Amino acid sequence: MSAVEQYVEQYARARVVTDSPEAPRAVPVMLRYDGRIHVTLPDSGEWVFPRDLLERGLRGPVSAGDVRIWPCGRVQVVIEFHEHANGATVVQFDAKALIRFLRRTYTTVAPVAPQGITR
pTM summary value: 0.82
- Cα separation, 49 vs 102, whole angstroms: 13
Q: What is the pLDDT of residues 13-49, one digit of tens each?
A: 999 887 777 766 889 999 999 999 999 998 778 999 9
Q: What is the pLDDT of residues 34-88, one digit of tens each?
A: 999 999 998 778 999 999 999 999 999 999 999 999 999 999 999 999 887 778 8
HSE toward the beta carbon, residue 31, CA cutoff 13 A = 21
- Do 76 and 98 meet the contact criterion of CB atoms below 8 Å apart? no
Distances (CA, A) of 17 to 62, 91, 95: 18, 6, 16
